[in-house]
Structure 1
């Protein structure tokens, strides 16, 4: 008899196959349902185009201007301004002439724009609508235990006592020079060169001119003038004893008596075109002093209080041609976060000078107090490879002038440039007597009044001869200047700027400046020429690339004097990740563990040669110094790139600006030296001051004020709202050059 048929449920129960998991899934993977074949075209027409659009958007991310917030906001504001202008005209029925309306808008814009040009010695500040700026000494005096003349030895620092009237002491002076053998050697060489120049120009030369000067100065005594008989007596800053202020700024700081109670010490936040890291031990104090000087300058000179700036005024900041990004970022942060300017734009010094002079193409030479810059400008842009930054200026001429006078037995032998009244006296003597016109060089009698706080005025008479021309001739022989202190404190407070992607130093540098650094390093044989200056003020090799064919800039490497192990196979020749052939030696590996035969990953190969960081550190150990005429040739060489037509155009439009260019005869002497170079002897060389009799000291500020009033500069304005979002990264979109 066959078994009874069982139901499927019974079989599952007996065999243990019945579900007991309450319909829970055995896995969590999503189940993809089959596509309905009837609606397949819907997926093709809707989903695939979206995927393709997404891929295309990713490939074009930030490659179009409409994808960048800065440009998008700019277009939106332009549209809003146009709509608002059309609306105002339709409502008011304005029939004003277009030119009158434009002038009115420009005047209104200039009255709310503050142009700021900070320098090593002076701050030029003013409204863009002003004809000329106000000059404020870039100095602050803060309460201290000691004044600056009490901190260190006097300057210039004598290396022996002053010689007297007898012959023995004069012989000792010749054996042991007052300022060292190097300065004495340079002084004699420049004096001989000047005599030869005067003979060539048929000038009369007395054979015993130096002896007459020294003999007269040794016999001269000071004449005391009572204070009530001195019509030009100085009004010194009176420091209250009960509640002395914490600081003084500008001219008031320079007029504080050196022996005041309490003592005050002068601090200059900017030195040699860099932020002063030598006299400060805190970056915050350094930036705070810059802020105080700007605030006091706006309040006293412009009548604008700090609280009135927020949301009302804009600023134009003038920066050097070869700037440091840390300096630009800190100044931008100061203007936005401390003064709350509505918007700020940035312009380079040489470009501003071309704006002020109205030149579309020129070689701009800006001689400041402690920095000289050379740059070629073409069609409203600085030629990036032509920029040069030299660390000497009018202050070095002042120091050299006083040294030369002391060698000639200057009657006021106790002069110390760390004392404020002596510093002001030295500046007065330099501006009054120095010249580069050899027609006026003769033994002449000069006089000056020494006005010190708390004492009667003293009148001195002295004779001078070639000292008045030797000091400014240091522009063409900077070896006579003292460079030993110019790198003190460098990189002690402020780190250099690095690229956020590859970590390399990204401060701008030009091929002309690199050539200068290469020529300024010590030679391998230990010898050096008079044109090179190292970190210790020593000599260096001459600039040997000035008159080479400029068709292609040479490959520059300040580390070329270092002997590195090289091989025929260059690790940098390929970026592929394939291993090296078996048995190939690996040079420059990070550890000896990789110096064995066999496959070695490319990531373990270290390129031979100095890194960009090492190159930047090597440059920081050298003072960039070069004769002015050779620097101009070097800048034009790199700007023209072998084009003879451009060389002629630049040589025919050299313009000298800055306070250090006010020496008489500088333009003529510079033209003569440029024509004396063999390569440019047949060219038309023209060195001219700014046109329309503009003051060369303010031509950069004047051009910046013109730039701040132009409508076309709207693209370069950095607005506060944008800066809050992007910070200094915004400079890559707003600057007129490649930041």
Structure 2
């Protein structure tokens, strides 16, 4: 397709890995520095907004939440929202419990991987019941957010630390990597966009010290997921131009920017965030759409499992409440401090933690920890323990562009006007090859065919004048799958190449980024072993198992900011200039500019 060829050309030319030798004497350090200082990079996530100038060494992390004051304070009851739990309809039981039966499989794996017995939870509970808290003389060191000025809204930490009895409602504009569209208050598309605009402007003014009136002198790089809703991206770009008044905007995908951020040309990018896990295979700045998959599980689920296991083990802090905001933040801190997947770990282990609440003295609790510090991170590899209902809605694949009246020459037009005979012949060759390579691969799964290039459907759709929006030509899992299987699934659906060279390159660089999993010690070795055990091998592919390499801290960088750094690198590339859209151009030409200039297949 012409669209794919042009987009691929732009992506290849904008790759920092491919252009290191092409800069030469034309590189102007002063000009590049000036561009970086006048460019703001935004990476909105489910839990945090990462923002900063492209010249900054690290982004600023702001909790991606906004608190709106009630229109009529005192007449509306504050809505209590849990930071740990999902919607009740997603669980197998009404008590929102994890599946303790699923822990048996994790325990068996720990015995073989750690080469020692698993510490019994009954012993841990007995030790923790004997623990006695110590009341400290000092206070907690912080107070509830001051709302005496009746601010109409608060963002970030100020929103998180509002007293739950105050007349504010918290709203997260992004959930599971997508705009938080729902039927409740602040759930319409326009309301979510308003929340985003208000939150981003306030964050830029507060943390970057850039007045709103000066944003017209700045450019913006917006990082979006690989699997996105076209209408949502359109609304966000529209908001950046019309509400925030940026002079120009460049939109790119997080997975591609992750490879830019660590200087890797080709990789299978595994982005484990707070509420979602996104996997895509990147080749020279191109994200292969057929390999993209998103699982609706992430670091939040690890925290919930960890909390449930600690409660079973008689957590000394008896007042712990999953639905309490401060307790949820406490559990997040304990998870990041103590969880790991290290085979040489020793259990049981004596530790301690503090309970700090505004207006109260601090309390020190001793605690005995066992293998729950490893069982919780492994829940992403064994999702049965999460206690969720089996559902296809927890797995998302690439969808076709549904079309927009602002862009008549879109994918639908190209789809209906291309050469049917050529596409049908190409599809049959690919289908025959894939059927040989993927025999018995996920054969127990109830699979669907995602069909971009089926010649029979092309004829049927062209004559009927309609285009189906089925998910693409790959094996589609019927429900939630373990993380390592999802990685193998993604790599096995890369485009055909001579002697599986592209698959070999993907297996040799599995890049784990995001803040949900990569920071746990030992996760790279465990993931390597699980992927090695699940790679579909044949006599001609036995070498693949020896090629596997998992990278969790590229160049000793924080894996949670790799994508943001890639966005800052991209903003300064000479070859990326053609990908920018100016405010004036957007006002006159609109959406079609994203299709024509986006450095990925729109």
Establish whether TM, by shorter chain, passes 0.5.
yes
The match for 1:549 is 437
- Quick one: distance in 2 between partners of 1:413 and 1:485? 32
Q: 1:663 maps to what in 2?
A: 520
3-state SS of 1:415 partner:
coil
Shift in CA distance, 468/572, structure 1 to aligned 2, threshold 3 Å: closer
Aligned to 2:154: 248
Name the structure 2 match of 1:213.
124
1:165: which partner in 2? none
Q: Give yes or no for the alignment of 1:649 onto 2:565.
A: no
Partner of 1:631: 486
Q: Which of 268, 286, 305 pairs up with 2:172?
A: 268
1:465 matched residue in structure 2: 370
- Aligned with 1:699 (options 526, 549, 562): 562
Aligned to 1:138: 64
Q: 2:209 aligns with which of 303, 306, 317?
A: 303
> CA 1:156/1:439 → structure 2, altered by over 3 Å: closer, same or farther?
farther
Change (3 A) 1:106 1:504: closer
The 3 A distance-change label for structure 1 pair 403 and 106 is same
Q: State the distance in 2 between where 1:546 and 1:136 align.
A: 45
TM-score by length of 2: 0.78
SS in structure 1 at match of 2:323: coil
Measured after TM superposition, the shift of residue 548 of structure 1 is 6.9
- Contact persistence 2:274–2:300 (CA under 8 A): yes
Match of 1:190 in 2: 106
Q: Which residue of 2 aligns with 1:126?
A: 52
Partner of 1:533: none
**Aligned-partner SS, 1:639:** coil
Q: Distance in 2 between matches of 1:433 and 1:379?
A: 37
Q: Match of 2:493, SS? A: helix
The worse-fitting range, judged by mean Cα deviation, of 551-560 and 633-642 is 551-560
Instruction: Report the CA distance between 1:104 and its aligned residue.
Output: 0.8
Q: Which residue does 2:338 correspond to in 1?
A: 433
The alignment yields a C-alpha RMSD, in angstroms, of 4.0
Listed as ranges, the matches of 1:330-341 within 5 Å are 330-341=235-246
Query: Hey, what does 2:384 align to over in structure 1?
Result: 479
- The aligned counterpart of 1:365 is 270
Residue pair 2:352, 2:366 contacting (<8 A) in 1 also: yes
Residue deviations 1:405-464 (CA, integer Å, cap 9, x gap):
112222223322332211210111001110111321411122211112232222222222
The residue matched to 2:344 in structure 1 has which SS? helix
What's the counterpart of residue 307 of structure 2? 402
Deviation string 1:666-721 (CA, Å, 9 cap, x unpaired) is 10101111222362674221112343211111110101001001111111011111
- Residues 370 and 396, structure 1, Cα contact 8 Å, conserved in 2: yes
- Whichever of the two has the greater Rg, that structure is 1
Measured at CA, do residues 648 and 138 of structure 1 come closer, stay the same or move farther in structure 2, by a change above 3 Å? same
Separation in 1, partners of 2:178, 2:295: 12
Verify the 8 A CA contact 2:271 2:513 in the aligned structure 1. yes
**Contact 1:546 1:630 survives alignment (8 Å):** no
By how many angstroms is 1:339 displaced?
Answer: 0.9
Of residues 90, 111, 116 in structure 1, which corresponds to 2:37? 111
Q: Is the 8 A contact 1:374 1:388 kept in 2?
A: yes
Deviation at 1:482, TM superposition (A): 5.1
- C-alpha distance in 1 between matches for 2:554 and 2:391: 34
Number of the residue aligned with 1:45: none
Tell me the distance in 2 between the aligned counterparts of 1:220 and 1:472. 26
Cross-structure match for 1:727: 590
**Separation in 1, partners of 2:276, 2:484:** 15
**SS of the residue 1:220 aligns to:** coil
Helix, strand or coil for the counterpart of 1:683?
helix
Cα separation, 1, equivalents of 2:342 and 2:495? 31
* 8 Å contact from structure 2 (residues 43, 50) kept in 1: yes
SS in 2 for 1:236: coil
Question: Given the alignment, which residue of 217, 224, 231 partners 1:319?
Answer: 224
Residue 324 of structure 1 deviates from its aligned partner by 1.1
Q: Which runs of 5+ in 1 are unaligned?
A: 1-61, 66-70, 72-97, 159-175, 491-495, 507-544, 561-569, 577-601, 617-621
Deviations 1:514-536 (A, max 9, x none): xxxxxxxxxxxxxxxxxxxxxxx
Compared CA separation, residues 456 and 484, structure 1 to 2 (3 A): farther
Size of the aligned set, in residue pairs, is 527
Q: Are the counterparts in 1 of residues 133 and 366 from structure 2 also a CA contact under 8 Å?
A: yes
Distance 1:215 1:306 in 2: 57
Does the Cα contact within 8 Å between 1:367 and 1:659 map onto a contact in 2?
yes
Contact 2:132 2:365 (C-alpha < 8 Å) held by counterparts? yes
Q: How far apart, CA to CA, are the structure 1 residues paired with 2:344 and 2:507?
A: 26
| CA distance 1:690–1:220, change in 2 (3 Å) | closer
Task: Tell me whether 1:284 sits opposite 2:190 in the alignment.
Answer: yes
SS in 2 for 1:650: helix
Superposed, 1:287-686 pairs within 5 Å as: 287-310=193-216, 312-481=217-386, 483=388, 497-498=402-403, 500=405, 549-550=437-438, 612=468, 615=470, 625-641=480-496, 643-660=499-516, 661-677=518-534, 679=537, 682-686=545-549
Q: 2 CA distance for matches of 1:285 and 1:485?
A: 31
Query: TM-score under structure 1 normalisation?
Result: 0.64
Instruction: Provide the C-alpha distance between the structure 2 equivalents of 1:624 and 1:503, rounded to a whole number of angstroms.
Output: 35
| C-alpha distance 101-651 of structure 1, shift in aligned 2 (>3 A) | closer
Measured in 2, the distance between the counterparts of 1:408 and 1:137 equals 30
C-alpha distance in 2, partners of 1:670/1:554?
19
Give how far 1:552 is off: 14
* Change beyond 3 A, Cα 1:484–1:270: farther
Shift of 1:639: 1.3
- For 1:689 and 1:455, locate their aligned partners in 2 and report how far apart those are by CA, in whole Å: 40
In 1, distance between residues paired with 2:411 and 2:181?
A: 19
CA deviations on 1:323-365 (whole Å, 9 max, x unpaired) are: 1102211110110010111110111111101111111111111
1:714 to 1:475, Cα distance in 2 relative to 1, 3 A: same
Equivalence map 1:74-93=2 (5 Å): none
Q: Displacement, 1:549? A: 1.0
Shift of 1:732: 1.1
Deviations 1:174-228 (CA, angstroms, capped at 9, x unpaired): xx99755x61211233223323433xx3x3x37x7322111122333433223xx
Q: Is the 8 A contact 2:392 2:480 kept in 1?
A: no
Report if the CA contact (8 A) 1:355-1:704 is conserved.
yes
Return closer, same or farther for 1:557/1:305 CA change in 2, 3 Å cut-off. Answer: farther
| Aligned counterpart, 1:717 | 580
Alpha-carbon distance in 2 for matches of 1:697, 1:717: 25
Distance 1:120 1:548 in 2: 40
